[in-house]
Amino acid sequence: MQTKYKISGMTCKHCVMRVEKAINSIDGVDKVKVSLAKGMAKVKGEHSSQELIEAVQAAGYKAEKID
């Protein structure tokens, strides 16, 4: 299953790496692709959206699930 999230607060490639690391720490995430230009993350796997949003927030950014 693929889920998309809007990510706010990223300004550089280091931000992208921090967001990817935060998302990859979530159980059930198989693959993550974060785009700085689009301000979006595409996440594959079976995971909790709330847990992912909280992990991104803990890294210093904001995440919002896109339907």
Give per-residue pLDDT as tens, 24-41. Answer: 999 999 999 999 999 999
User: Residue 17 maps to which CATH number?
Assistant: 3.30.70.100
Question: Residue 67: pLDDT above 90?
Answer: no
The residues that bridge with 2 in the sheet, in sequence order, are 44
Domain count, the chain: 1
Q: Which domain holds residue 18?
A: 2-66
Pairing of strands 29-35, 40-45: antiparallel
d(Cα 34, Cα 13) in Å, to the nearest integer? 10
Tell me the average pLDDT of the chain.
Answer: 97
Dihedral angle, C-alpha 55, 18, 12, 30, nearest 10 ° = -80
The half-sphere exposure of 32 on its side-chain side, counting CA atoms within 13 A, is 23
